[in-house]
Amino acid sequence: MDWSAVTAEDLVDALREVDWSTPPRPVPEFFSRFTVPRSYSKWTSRLKCNLYYYRTNYFILIMFILGMGFLWKPVAILAAFMTGLSIAFLNDSFAVTFNEKVTRTVRQFSPHLAAKMRPPITPVLRGRPSSKRSIHICGRPRWVFVLFFAAVSCILWLTSCSLLTVLWALLIALFATVLHASFRTPNLKARLNTFREEFRAVWRNYSEL
């Protein structure tokens, strides 16, 4: 896959639509081989490839650094958790999986309430469901939960009086992520994985015709 042709918007869309339930890559693989990119185009291609392939590892790394920055402040740790949850809700697969698990749990206690938590019926166009359906969580649009958890996290950050600390921790986490993604040499698994994802995207577009 030619990552030099992938824009930042394409990468963000891919990270939003990809399945995040897969476990992180093994630690030995994550820290196995590092080389300096030979050119700017090689660096941008490597950065995009590693950000996509090691997405779960980078998410755990960022949450770990934020957690270590507030090890002695439980309120700040809760704020970091709420922030990570609000970001995770932006991913389609995470939001759908979260909604299914919550609905299934509620159904065991109150089937009537679980029925109200179902998403609205997807409109049917030309005999098949519309591909551009909105994601719902517990019967509400996804953005309601994203804004709610983001607002709660902001309140907790203000309560813990650790805004400056979280900015430094976030900058360190982002710097570590970009540094690793810049120097980690993409292995054969990463290349095969990107080719597989590219085939799935092409097949999905073909099936929608």
What DSSP line would sit under the chain, residue for residue?
--GGG--HHHHHHHHHHS---SPPPPHHHHTS-B---SSHHHHHHHHHHHHHHTHHHHHHHHHHHHHHHTTT-HHHHHHHHHHHHHHHTTSHHHHHHHHHHHHHHHHHH-HHHHHHTSPPPPPEETTEE-SSPPPEETTEEHHHHHHHHHHHHHHHHHHHT-HHHHHHHHHHHHHHHHHHHHHBPP-HHHHHHHHHHHHHHHHHHHHT-
Give the residue, 124 or 40, on which the prediction is more confident: 40
Reported pTM:
0.60
90 closest CA partner among 157, 204, 170, 14: 14
Q: Is the residue at 29 inside a domain?
A: no
Note the pLDDT tens digit of each residue in 165-186. 778 888 999 999 999 999 998 7
Q: Is the residue at 54 inside a domain?
A: yes
pLDDT at 183: 92
Q: Is the residue at 56 inside a domain?
A: yes
Give the domain extent around 175: 38-120+134-208
Please compute the mean of the pLDDT values over residues 86-94 and round it to a whole number. 84
Please compute the mean of the pLDDT values over residues 136-164 and round it to a whole number. 83
- For residue 128, pLDDT over 90 is answered with no
Rounded to an integer, what distance in angstroms lies between the CA atom of residue 3 and that of residue 48? 7
pLDDT at 191: 55
Contacts of residue 89, Cβ cutoff 8 Å, sequence gap at least 6 = 95, 98, 137, 142, 145, 146, 149
Give the residue, 4 or 92, on which the prediction is more confident: 92
pLDDT at 190: 59
Number of domains in the chain: 1
- For residue 97, pLDDT over 90 is answered with no
pLDDT at 176: 93
Q: The tokens of 5 are what?
A: 């042709």
- For residue 109, pLDDT over 60 is answered with yes
- For residue 188, pLDDT over 70 is answered with no
Q: Is the residue at 3 inside a domain?
A: no
Rounded to an integer, what distance in angstroms lies between the CA atom of residue 96 and that of residue 19? 10
C-alpha 107 chain-centroid distance: 27
Q: Is the residue at 74 inside a domain?
A: yes
Q: Is the residue at 8 inside a domain?
A: no
Please compute the mean of the pLDDT values over residues 102-113 and round it to a whole number. 83
Give the residue, 195 or 97, on which the prediction is more confident: 97
Q: Is the residue at 103 inside a domain?
A: yes
- Characterize the bridge pairing of strands 128-129 and 136-137: unpaired
Confirm if 184 and 58 have CB atoms less than 8 A apart. no
Q: Which of 17-21, 71-75, 133-137, 182-186 has the highest mean pLDDT?
A: 182-186
